[in-house]
């Protein structure tokens, strides 16, 4: 559970090294942008048809941060992610990502800019193989970048070795944990700067969740990938997060560092049952 | 009847959980494409030998079989790959037939008519697709059905260009064998296009739409434009077939080339063979059309009932289509199985085919 614990996955260290050495520097102009927000959401409102779900939501994710978004069922977490990735139109407000205004951009352009969304419930293309799923994650990469895609695939396999074993298997035949791995791997294939993960641990065994979180730790800390994690297991989320937001009924009601929120009375009674 | 194929494998997604290590032999894919391609090419090569028989009736039957093979395969581009079941594809067949008929009556060469029909159908598919492909699932099916039915009513009333209700064309300058090979080429072209789609980035994008449209969108796939592209792709060969049919049969009664039965036949053949598969539509067009002609010859009054019964049985017991059944049996076995395990696995596969429908 603790991020400083050694990784429990098989061959963790060698995989980590392999992953890092092949990785081009992603945080190129980090000196000037490090403290700048990678994703900035201002007064966002959004919803479905007539139903407003998000009310005046403002948050930000800085480069290299792991930000957790917690909240009860129906608070609007998934709606927020869908709006950020362009699947739902924003009603009012402003979304800025990596220096671009993406408030009204199409999903395709947003993926190209480096924002990748791992949807809730895995949503794999179940009649396709694991490798085909991963390659579809690289859909927006240019046709000429076969080599880069192949390298990305190798990195994903190095990070999540189970996927290499299963690569010719139909995604629908995987276990729940393997499906989540595949969904995350697919999200990484577009070479994102920010990965949105919707409900990482839902319905998974604790050991599987641990393995997944450790893998995410590797890419987060060593590759500099920023993460926005929606998580119903509040304990796990707050222990790992640099910062966190609490969403209730479509409003951001609390924000702070992960440890601050872990100590917070309101969070403890509402979400941790303490 | 169509409920079972629309999203063939979503059920398997929901059931997985940790500790599922003793799952049955892992289904694999990726190795079967070359075999399907080869099988299809052999079937088409054999079909090219039919004119050698010299029998006019056989040639006639097989001309229609190849036409339906082309129709079912082009329906598959949208219906099979993306899961958007159009019940109005006969509209494009009618557009092809009509354009060809009218241009021939205007004294133009027939190939110009066929090409004009194809272009018109492509354009219409694009324009109709813009609103209609914003609809999902059953709404799309109903909208396409509506378009085709409305057009049928319209031509039944107006009889554009026809004399006494029928569009009557002069005897074609082409021999029956020449027609046969034109339909053969069309079926081959559709087959090769399917083979390309089954292995290319655009094809995978279409399959991704079928498997989970919203996720496909999240991956950055412009799903809307892909669907429209597939609709156009499916309209053009259908119109070509319609144009050839009109000239081959020296005319037509306008409402019949817009008959919803032809749409249903495209859907049925594809679904029975295996929607979204390479071989499915081709194989089932041959099998079921042959069967249909046999029933027609032998049991005159009952042939439609017998055919319907056969289709019902196939749909109940093989919801994933003929190709799915064959793949289930030829799936690679785990290495080092004993004879006893092989027997058990065989029995399990038969049971799984039956259980797939919850029997």
Is B270 a member of any domain? Answer: yes
In this predicted model, what pLDDT tens digit does every residue of A236-261 receive, in sequence order? 889 989 999 999 999 999 999 988 99
Question: What pLDDT sits at residue B155?
Answer: 83
Mean of the pLDDT values across residues B144-155?
90
What DSSP string runs through B99-125? HHHHHHHTT--HHHHHHHHHHHHHHHH
CA A111 to CA A101: how far, in whole Å? 13
pLDDT score recorded for residue A3: 42
Going A8 to A9 to A14 to A16, the CA torsion angle's sign is: negative
Mean of per-residue pLDDT scores for chain A:
84
Candidates B215, B222, B320, B321, partner chain A, best to mutate (most A CBs within 10 A): B215
Q: What is the CATH number of the domain that holds B183?
A: 1.10.3470
Strand ranges (E), chain B = 167-168, 251-252
To the nearest whole Å, the CA of A131 is away from the closest chain B CA by 10
pLDDT at A28: 41
Measure the CA angle with vertex A200, ends A197 and A201; round to 5°: 170
List the single range of A100-114, B164-178, B209-223, B300-314 with lowest mean pLDDT: B300-314
**What phi and psi values does residue A83 have, to the nearest 5 degrees?**
-70, -40
- Clarify whether residues B300 and B350 are in a common domain: no
In this prediction, residues A62-84 reach a mean pLDDT of 91
Is B6 inside any structural domain?
no
Do B272 and B288 meet the contact criterion of CB atoms below 8 Å apart? yes
- Chain A CB contacts of B28 under 8 Å are 129, 168-170
Q: Beta strands A115-118 and A194-198: pairing type?
A: parallel
Domain that includes residue B351, residue range: 319-359
Q: What distance in Å separates the CA atoms of residue B225 and residue B204, rounded to the nearest whole number?
A: 14
Of B123 and A121, more confident? B123
Q: In this structure, are B358 and B230 located in the same domain?
A: no
Residue B312 lies in a domain: yes
Domain count, chain B: 2
For residues B94 and B147, what is the distance between their CA atoms, to the nearest angstrom? 12
Q: Is the confidence metric ipTM above 0.85 for this complex?
A: no
- Measured CA to CA, the distance from residue A149 to residue A75 in angstroms comes to 37
Nearest CA in chain B to A172: B13
- Identify the three-state secondary structure at position A122: coil
Torsion angle, alpha carbons of B315, B320, B323, B328, to 10 = -120
Lookup result for tokens 């592209």: B229
Q: What number does CATH give the domain A35-257?
A: 3.40.50.300
Single residue among B317, B333, B348 that ends a domain in this structure: B317
| Residue B322 vs residues A36, B84, B139, B210, B317: alpha-carbon distances, Å | 58, 20, 27, 20, 10
The overall average pLDDT reported for chain B is 83
List of chain A residues whose C-beta atoms are within 8 Å of the C-beta of residue B210: 127
Dig out the tokens for A227 from the structure: 């993460």
Q: Which two tokens stand for residue B48?
A: 């090219």
Residue B47 within a domain: yes
Determine, for residues A126 and B10 on separate chains, whether the beta-carbon distance falls below 8 Å: yes
Chain A residues lying within 8 Å of B33, measured CB to CB: none
**CB-based contact A175 B17, cutoff 8 Å:** yes
Percent of chain A with pLDDT over 90: 48
Do B235 and B136 lie in one domain? The reply is yes
Same domain (yes/no): B211, B353: no
Residues of A in contact with B334 (CB under 8 A): none
Mutate to test the interface with B, among A78, A80, A89, A107 (most CBs of B within 10 A): A107
Task: Write the DSSP symbol of residue B8.
Answer: T
**Do B342 and B270 fall within a single domain?**
no
Within a domain: B11: no
Q: What angle do CA A48, B143, B201 make, to 5 degrees?
A: 75
* pLDDT for the residue numbered B153: 85
**Tokens standing for residue B216:** 């496909």
Q: Other C-beta atoms within 10 Å of A241: how many? A: 26
């Amino acid at each position: 559970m603790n991020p400083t614990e050694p990784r429990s996955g098989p061959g963790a260290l060698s995989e980590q090294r392999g992953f890092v050495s092949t990785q081009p520097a992603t945080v190129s102009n980090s000196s000037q942008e490090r403290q700048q927000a990678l994703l900035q959401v201002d007064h966002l409102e959004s919803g479905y048809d007539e139903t407003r779900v998000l009310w005046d939501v403002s948050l930000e994710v800085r480069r290299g941060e792991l930000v957790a978004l917690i909240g009860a069922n129906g608070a609007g977490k998934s709606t927020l992610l869908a709006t950020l990735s362009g699947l739902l139109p924003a009603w009012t407000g402003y979304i800025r990502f990596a220096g671009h205004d993406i408030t009204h951009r199409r999903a395709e352009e947003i993926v190209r800019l480096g924002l990748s969304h791992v949807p809730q419930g895995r949503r794999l293309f179940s009649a396709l193989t694991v490798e085909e799923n991963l390659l579809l994650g690289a859909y927006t990469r240019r046709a000429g970048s076969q080599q880069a895609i192949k390298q990305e695939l190798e990195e994903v396999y190095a990070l999540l070795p189970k996927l290499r074993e299963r690569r010719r298997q139909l995604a629908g035949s995987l276990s729940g944990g393997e499906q989540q791995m595949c969904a995350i791997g697919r999200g990484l294939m577009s070479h994102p700067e920010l990965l949105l993960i919707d409900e990482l641990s839902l319905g998974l065994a604790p050991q599987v969740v641990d393995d997944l979180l450790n893998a995410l730790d590797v890419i987060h800390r060593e590759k500099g990938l920023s993460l926005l994690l929606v998580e119903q297991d509040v304990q796990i989320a707050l222990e790992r997060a640099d910062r966190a937001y609490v969403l209730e009924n479509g409003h951001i009601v609390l924000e702070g560092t992960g440890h601050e929120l872990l100590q917070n009375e309101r969070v403890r009674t509402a979400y941790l049952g303490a | 009847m169509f409920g079972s194929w629309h999203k063939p494998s979503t059920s398997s997604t929901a059931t997985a959980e940790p500790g599922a290590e003793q799952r049955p032999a892992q289904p694999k894919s990726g190795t079967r494409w070359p075999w399907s391609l080869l099988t299809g090419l052999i079937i088409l090569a054999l079909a090219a030998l039919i004119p050698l028989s010299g029998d006019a009736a056989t040639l006639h039957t097989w001309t229609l079989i190849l036409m339906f093979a082309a129709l079912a395969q082009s329906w598959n581009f949208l219906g099979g790959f993306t899961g958007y079941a159009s019940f109005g594809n006969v509209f494009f067949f009618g557009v092809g037939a009509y354009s060809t008929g009218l241009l021939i009556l205007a004294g133009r060469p027939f190939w110009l008519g066929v090409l004009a029909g194809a272009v018109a159908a492509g354009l219409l598919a694009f324009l109709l697709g813009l609103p209609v492909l914003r609809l999902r699932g059953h709404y799309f099916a109903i909208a396409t059905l509506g378009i085709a039915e409305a057009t049928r009513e319209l031509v039944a009333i107006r009889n554009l260009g026809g004399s006494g209700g029928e569009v009557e064309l002069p005897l074609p300058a082409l021999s029956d064998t020449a027609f046969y090979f034109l339909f053969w080429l069309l079926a081959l072209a559709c087959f090769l296009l399917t083979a390309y789609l089954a292995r290319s980035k655009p094809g995978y994008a279409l399959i991704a739409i079928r498997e989970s449209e919203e996720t496909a969108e999240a991956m950055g796939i412009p799903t809307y434009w892909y669907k429209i592209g597939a609709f156009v792709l499916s309209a053009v060969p259908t119109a070509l077939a319609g144009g050839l049919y009109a000239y081959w049969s020296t005319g037509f009664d306008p409402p019949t080339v817009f008959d919803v039965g032809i749409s249903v036949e495209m859907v049925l053949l594809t679904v029975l063979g295996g929607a979204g598969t390479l071989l499915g539509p081709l194989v089932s067009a041959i099998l079921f059309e042959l069967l249909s002609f046999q029933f027609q010859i032998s049991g005159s009054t009952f042939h439609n009932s017998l055919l319907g019964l056969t289709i019902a049985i196939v749909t109940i017991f093989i919801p994933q289509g003929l190709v799915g059944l064959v793949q289930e049996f030829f799936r690679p076995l785990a290495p080092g199985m004993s004879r006893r395990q092989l027997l058990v696995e065989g029995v399990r596969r038969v049971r799984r085919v039956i259980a797939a429908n919850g029997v």
